[in-house]
Amino acid sequence: MSNQPQPALPPIQVAFVIDGQVIDILHTDERLAAIFLSQPTVVDVTDFKDNEGNPNIIYVGDLYDSESGIFSKPEIVQPTEE
Protein backbone atom coordinates (compact mmCIF):
# COMPACT_ATOMS: atom_id res chain seq x y z
CA MET A 1 0.00 0.00 0.00
CA SER A 2 1.09 3.49 -0.73
CA ASN A 3 1.47 6.04 2.04
CA GLN A 4 0.98 8.96 -0.33
CA PRO A 5 -1.49 11.57 0.95
CA GLN A 6 -4.92 11.56 -0.68
CA PRO A 7 -5.90 14.72 -2.54
CA ALA A 8 -8.39 16.88 -0.68
CA LEU A 9 -11.99 16.67 -1.85
CA PRO A 10 -13.76 19.86 -2.95
CA PRO A 11 -15.51 21.60 -0.04
CA ILE A 12 -19.20 21.13 -0.94
CA GLN A 13 -21.11 17.84 -0.99
CA VAL A 14 -24.38 17.65 -2.94
CA ALA A 15 -26.58 14.57 -2.59
CA PHE A 16 -28.68 13.48 -5.56
CA VAL A 17 -31.97 12.03 -4.36
CA ILE A 18 -34.45 10.18 -6.59
CA ASP A 19 -37.68 8.78 -5.18
CA GLY A 20 -36.50 9.49 -1.64
CA GLN A 21 -33.20 7.62 -1.97
CA VAL A 22 -29.68 9.06 -2.22
CA ILE A 23 -28.31 7.72 -5.49
CA ASP A 24 -25.02 9.63 -5.62
CA ILE A 25 -23.01 12.31 -3.82
CA LEU A 26 -21.02 14.90 -5.72
CA HIS A 27 -18.06 16.70 -4.13
CA THR A 28 -17.78 20.06 -5.85
CA ASP A 29 -16.99 23.74 -5.51
CA GLU A 30 -19.41 26.45 -4.38
CA ARG A 31 -20.33 27.60 -7.90
CA LEU A 32 -21.39 24.21 -9.26
CA ALA A 33 -23.16 23.37 -6.00
CA ALA A 34 -25.18 26.60 -6.30
CA ILE A 35 -26.14 25.68 -9.87
CA PHE A 36 -27.32 22.20 -8.86
CA LEU A 37 -29.18 23.50 -5.82
CA SER A 38 -31.09 26.10 -7.89
CA GLN A 39 -33.09 23.24 -9.47
CA PRO A 40 -31.98 23.88 -13.07
CA THR A 41 -33.52 22.40 -16.17
CA VAL A 42 -31.14 19.69 -17.35
CA VAL A 43 -30.93 19.11 -21.12
CA ASP A 44 -28.77 16.48 -22.86
CA VAL A 45 -27.09 18.37 -25.72
CA THR A 46 -24.59 15.64 -26.61
CA ASP A 47 -25.97 15.07 -30.11
CA PHE A 48 -27.89 18.33 -30.46
CA LYS A 49 -28.51 19.47 -34.05
CA ASP A 50 -29.82 22.74 -35.41
CA ASN A 51 -32.89 23.02 -37.67
CA GLU A 52 -30.84 22.00 -40.72
CA GLY A 53 -29.43 18.89 -39.02
CA ASN A 54 -25.97 20.37 -38.48
CA PRO A 55 -24.14 19.84 -35.18
CA ASN A 56 -25.04 22.81 -33.00
CA ILE A 57 -22.57 23.95 -30.38
CA ILE A 58 -24.18 25.23 -27.21
CA TYR A 59 -22.28 27.87 -25.24
CA VAL A 60 -22.60 29.23 -21.71
CA GLY A 61 -24.87 32.27 -21.97
CA ASP A 62 -27.05 30.86 -24.79
CA LEU A 63 -30.80 31.09 -24.28
CA TYR A 64 -33.12 28.06 -24.06
CA ASP A 65 -36.88 27.93 -24.68
CA SER A 66 -38.18 24.95 -22.70
CA GLU A 67 -41.50 24.88 -24.56
CA SER A 68 -39.96 24.63 -28.04
CA GLY A 69 -36.65 23.00 -27.03
CA ILE A 70 -34.79 25.61 -29.08
CA PHE A 71 -31.47 27.20 -28.10
CA SER A 72 -30.60 30.66 -29.41
CA LYS A 73 -27.84 33.19 -29.07
CA PRO A 74 -28.55 36.24 -26.90
CA GLU A 75 -28.95 39.57 -28.61
CA ILE A 76 -25.69 41.49 -28.51
CA VAL A 77 -26.20 45.11 -27.57
CA GLN A 78 -23.54 47.35 -29.04
CA PRO A 79 -22.48 50.26 -26.84
CA THR A 80 -23.36 53.64 -28.27
CA GLU A 81 -20.87 56.45 -28.47
CA GLU A 82 -21.87 59.62 -26.67
Average pLDDT rounded to a whole number, residues 12-28: 96
Instruction: Tell me the per-residue pLDDT of 4-17, one tens digit each, with 9 for 90 and over.
Output: 888 888 899 999 99
Q: What are the DSSP calls for 6-49, one per residue?
A: PPPPPSEEEEEEETTEEEEEEEE-HHHHHHHHT-------TT-B
Residue ranges covered by each domain of the chain: 9-40, 41-72
Phi and psi angles of residue 63, each rounded to the nearest 5 degrees, phi first: -100, 150
State the average pLDDT for the chain. 89
Residue 78 has pLDDT above 90, yes or no: no
The pTM of this model reads 0.68
